[in-house]
Amino acid sequence: MSQGTVTLESRELSKTYYSTDPPTEVLLGIDLSVRAGEFLVIMGASGSGKSTLLYSISGMDKPTSGNVTLEGRELTSLSDAEMSNVRLTRMGFVFQQPHFLRNLDVRDNILLPALKGAAKGKDKDAAIARVDALMERFGISHIKDHGITQVSGGQLQRASICRALAGEPSVLFADEPTGALNSSMSDEVMDALTDVHRDGTTIVMVTHDPGVAARGDRVIYLRDGALVDANEMGPWQPDTAQQREDDLLTWLRELGF
Amino acid sequence: MRSTTVKNGERLYLRYAYNDLSRNKGVNAALIVILILSAFLMATGSMVIERLAGSISRLSEQGKPPDFLQMHLGDYDRAALERFAADHESEIAAWLVEEMLGFDSASLTWERPSTGENGDLAASRIDNLFVTQNAEFDFLVDWTGGVVRPAAGEVYVPVLYEQQYGLTAGDVLTISTDAGPHRLEVRGSVKDAQMAASLSPSSRFLIHPEDFEALARAGGAVPEIIAEYRLTAGSDANAIQTAYEGAGGLPTNGQPVTGQQLRIISMISDGLVAFALVFISLVLVAIALLNLRFVISGSLEDEVHEIGAMKAIGIPDRAISALYLTKYSILALVACVVGGLLAVVAANALTQSIETSYAQAPVGIWTFLVPLIALAAVYVIVVAICRGVLGRVKKIEVVNALVHGSTLDEKQTARRAKREARWVRRTGLASSSGAGVNRRLALLDLRAEGRAWVLVPVVFGLTAVLITLPANLVSTFESPQFVTYLGAPERDLRADVQFQQGVDDVKDRLVAAMADDDRLTDVQTYAYVDYSADSADGRARLRVEVGNHVDGAIRFSQGGLPQDGQIALSILNAEKYQVGVGDDLTIDDGDESITVQVSGIYQDLTAGGQTAKMPGEVTEGASAYTVFADLADDGADPAGIADEYGEQFPTAGVKPTQEYARETLGVLIDSMRGAAWIALVFGLGVAVLITSLFLKLRLTRDRPKMGVLSAIGFSANEIVGQVRTKTLLVVAAGTVVGLVFAATAGQSLASAALAAAQLGITDLTFIPNPWLVYVLYPLLLLGAGHLGVALLTAGIRRADKSQWL
């Protein structure tokens, strides 16, 4: 899909949790368009619905109403198996906690979606070579045989990015990817994500950290389940980083952040 | 002040327990169901055993059965009996000779004048003995325990016939005698302390002495007697039996029985289901305890942050444990109360037939204490195990709990990390592909988390033992090969010419007829010759089966077939005469003494387990004979041929060998089949319940993992498939181990139980029904596991996967 065209779109997206009394309306009819190759950041106070929005547009959760399309394909009407296949082949995920399988070493954890994809027809050897290359690129090939309890949080999160990229997704979803890391590890991870974005991968990221959000091309702001404003910031450059962060903070303060 | 604090503390515990119970309804419901089942079966089993023992004792008090009796067919010397009684005056409190008239079931018919209904008792396999009421003891009593004395023309039928044929007061019982029909009016039923057991081969009809005389004169009956003895307090029935058998000249042409044997046979035949219930409940208690351990460990891990916080603010370990213990104490208490109440209903239903056959057991302190003690034992064991598992609270470190959310200390955490690192080093996921990824993941999970899954195979192993053990016993007892445990060869037809006058003549004519019959081959005769020998209690009678004994027909536990100059003894006889293989035994047939060497010891259920075998041929003068024959045509119907011979030789007792086994063990097999069904139903129910409970907890803990898998493209079906693969693998492993255990150790356990019952079998080899035990039951268990997976994974497809992360 060419740069600039809308790749992911939600219309009238609502989500209500009926397990609470009274039911909690978390998303109130969100209209959102994500352009191909864009790095979109979702911000908002705790409980504003930003993670729910991320999981609803990525098909992890089913919205209560509204619809989501990815590359022109309606996601909300897909079956569980079809949606799983979309996640496998078109999406990648990075979570706040790395969420790796304890029974696999780092490399096998990264390989898992690639192997799963290979089962769906992609070439397995190519997938393995791609994973090895990704680990090399993100500086974690030396820990490939390690158990996940034997490596640092930053290494794990970079491994998480490798796993998300293993299936060559068109969109990478990241939910507070630096939320559990210290500042130096946080920078490692954001450098990695910025690298991925430069390669042309679309990124949708949730964060509450303005420093991290400054990496994005565009920041949208959610309040009580509604999209209240958006800030087009353009491509990130290392030399303007501080300026972007200050501008973003000013904008956020105006929104009551 | 202190008591107020304690009260507040107790209220807090109760409130916590209540909140926990209402929050985790599914898990707690499954736990309490298992606990209720355990308590229910334990209480029911113990109540039935107590009631049965009480009923037998009650009837024993009312009917005053003999402490030792000797059945006899044929003439006898009354003076010899009087001499024996005089010689043993200090041991014998009272004695009598009961005269009986035995009529074949086919000669008894009944009609109901009020409705015109009628029928016969031909289907009954029990010997029908007509007697008059005794004067001093061995009374036949009515349902109130009163001694019944029928008027002339009246008959009281055995309770069994009242139950089976509905014979009731006002019916007319007609006995076909040689002189024509003899009609008696049924006045009611009588309970018989001596012949009440379901396993008893005979039953007594009570009539007036005038009718007895008339029936005796009319002919058509086989007259028998029982010499019966009531002993003085402290006297040993076995010693009297030995003295009786060694005295000489006394009537011995029949089965000797002691009061203790009567009691054991009653407990075995009517108490088997109750014993099975207790066995099932023990297995269930074990399963419940394993479950509790698993659930409590899981709760501690899930709530480690809260426990850490409580410790951090200074709440003592005991108080934290008490929070959890309160809930499990409440569950155990409720289970015991509900199980106990249900048991009252079930025990009432189960003891109804016992009370009909025996007597209404008096309600005493033990009636309440026995089930209460059983329930208290369940409660105490459950609470003790919970307390033990909750001891782990003490070991939880505050920092590890709060910061790392771990119940482990640093050393344990390091050990675990090392262990996990070892596990993952060679996972080799890259070498698998396709659908293999799912299977591979499931196997890796199992390999790494085997300890967490161990509950399921253990429970299925126990369940497999629980359901296959009684099934194996039933199939073994029903198997055609089982006759070898009855000391008999595996032949088609069997004729018993015994306990009657003119046995030689009947036997000769029967053997001649069989030998001339083209349909039969290989006619063989075994003679029973009475000897006496020195036993542990003195001189005793030893009935020896003389004939051409062949290999494979007898279940030797030691040694082998007797050759010339040798004898083989049943296990109980080897004990009685205190000899082993290779020992010499001197036996005396009244004319001369010979010394024979014991060649082997074998298992035998017949004749009270007391038999012996010697080679040779005895054609006349024996007490009894058994004739065996095979069918020339394997497809022929042995029952038809047996019936023909039965008509021609009515006193020869010709039967297909299988029917002989069925008659000997029919009631026992029926009881065991009941126990097997109960075990199957409860076993499968528990298997589904445990699988569901385990998966409920396991899936809750595996949510993050399932969330990751879902995020990276595994569909709900694939995730459910992994759960199914893991579950079915552990179910299959547990089932296989259980089946192997049942076939090996279970066989030894069953043998030990039979040996303890002193029936004459000490070494049982199961003859399982392979389709049932090795195909159907494993499939049922796999089905139970599958059902558990289906029930618990139904929610996975509907769930919002992000909630799992």
Give the pLDDT confidence of B385-394 residue by residue, as tens digits.
Answer: 999 999 888 8
Band of pLDDT at residue A223, cut at 50, 70 and 90: very high
Q: CB of B437 within 8 Å of any CB in chain A?
A: yes
Given a contact cutoff of 8 angstroms between Cβ atoms, the answer to whether B758 and B572 are in contact is yes
**Residue among A52, A87, A124 minimizing CB distance to B713:** A87
In angstroms and rounded to an integer, the radius of gyration of the C-alpha atoms of chain B is 33
Higher-confidence position of B507 and B341: B341
Give the pLDDT confidence of A137-160 residue by residue, as tens digits.
Answer: 888 999 988 888 888 888 888 899
Chain A residue whose CA is closest to B713: A88
**Contacts A145 to B, Cβ<8 Å:** 425
Q: How far lies A192's CA from each of A158, A184, A185, A203, B203, in Å?
A: 7, 13, 11, 12, 94
Higher-confidence position of A165 and A220: A220
**Residue among B433, B445, B805 minimizing CB distance to A103:** B445
Q: CB of B312 within 8 Å of any CB in chain A?
A: no
Q: What stretch of H or E contains B205?
A: strand B202-207
Residue B1: pLDDT over 50: no
- Our CA dihedral for B653, B654, B656, B660, rounded to 10 degrees, sits at 10
**Residue among B421, B429, B434 minimizing CB distance to A111:** B429
Give me the pLDDT at residue B316, please: 87
Whether residue B802 and residue A61 make contact (CB cut-off 8 A), yes or no, is: yes
Q: CB of A126 within 8 Å of any CB in chain B?
A: no
**Residue among A55, A102, A112 minimizing CB distance to B420:** A102
Band of pLDDT at residue A246, cut at 50, 70 and 90: very high
Phi, then psi, of B501 in degrees rounded to 5: -80, 150
Phi, then psi, of B136 in degrees rounded to 5: -105, -40
Please report the residues numbered 674 through 733 in chain B whose beta carbons come closer than 8 angstroms to any beta carbon of chain A: 704-705, 707-708, 710-718
Band of pLDDT at residue A129, cut at 50, 70 and 90: confident
Give the minimum alpha-carbon distance from A125 to chain B in angstroms, rounded to a whole number: 9
Residue B643: pLDDT over 80: yes
Give the pLDDT confidence of B9-60 residue by residue, as tens digits.
Answer: 667 777 777 777 777 788 888 888 889 988 998 899 899 889 888 888 888 8
Whether residue B713 and residue A116 make contact (CB cut-off 8 A), yes or no, is: yes
Give the pLDDT confidence of B212-240 residue by residue, as tens digits.
Answer: 999 999 888 888 899 999 999 888 888 88
Give me the pLDDT at residue B762, please: 75
Given a contact cutoff of 8 angstroms between Cβ atoms, the answer to whether B778 and B735 are in contact is yes
Domains in chain A: ranges and CATH: 6-99+169-254 (3.40.50.300)
Whether residue B800 and residue A55 make contact (CB cut-off 8 A), yes or no, is: yes
Give the pLDDT confidence of B542-553 residue by residue, as tens digits.
Answer: 888 888 887 667
Residue B76: pLDDT over 90: no
Which residues neighbour B258 within 8 Å (Cβ) at sequence distance 6 or greater? B67, B68, B237, B238, B241
Give me the pLDDT at residue A37, please: 93
Interface confidence: ipTM more than 0.95: no
Higher-confidence position of A3 and B463: B463
Q: CB of B448 within 8 Å of any CB in chain A?
A: yes
Higher-confidence position of B207 and B257: B207
Q: CB of B435 within 8 Å of any CB in chain A?
A: yes
Q: What is the DSSP string of chain A?
A: --TTSEEEEEEEEEEEE-SSSSPEEEEEEEEEEEETT-EEEEEESTTSSHHHHHHHHTTSS--SEEEEEETTEESTTS-HHHHHHHHHHHEEEE-SS----TTS-HHHHHHHHHHHHHHTTS-HHHHHHHHHHHHHHTT-GGGTTS-GGGS-HHHHHHHHHHHHHHT--SEEEEESTTTTS-HHHHHHHHHHHHHHHHTT-EEEEE-S-HHHHTTSSEEEEEETTEEEEEEE--S--GGGHHHHHHHHHHHHHHTT-
Band of pLDDT at residue A121, cut at 50, 70 and 90: low
Give the minimum alpha-carbon distance from B784 to chain A in angstroms, rounded to a whole number: 27
Give the pLDDT confidence of B749-772 residue by residue, as tens digits.
Answer: 888 887 777 666 777 788 888 999
Phi, then psi, of B514 in degrees rounded to 5: -70, -40
Alpha helices in B188-258 (DSSP H): 209-218, 237-247
Is the backbone of residue B487 left (phi > 0), alpha (psi -120 to 50) or beta?
left
Give the pLDDT confidence of B601-632 residue by residue, as tens digits.
Answer: 988 877 667 789 999 887 777 778 888 888 88
DSSP B106: G
Chain B residue whose CA is closest to A169: B712
Residue B70's SS3 state is: strand
Give me the pLDDT at residue B438, please: 86
Other C-beta atoms closer than 10 Å to the C-beta of B697 total 24
Residue B680: pLDDT over 70: yes
Which residues neighbour A244 within 8 Å (Cβ) at sequence distance 6 or greater? A214, A233, A236
Give me the pLDDT at residue A231, please: 93
Q: How far lies B308's CA from each of B400, B405, B406, B513, in Å?
A: 8, 8, 9, 91
Given a contact cutoff of 8 angstroms between Cβ atoms, the answer to whether B473 and B670 are in contact is no
Whether residue A97 and residue B708 make contact (CB cut-off 8 A), yes or no, is: no
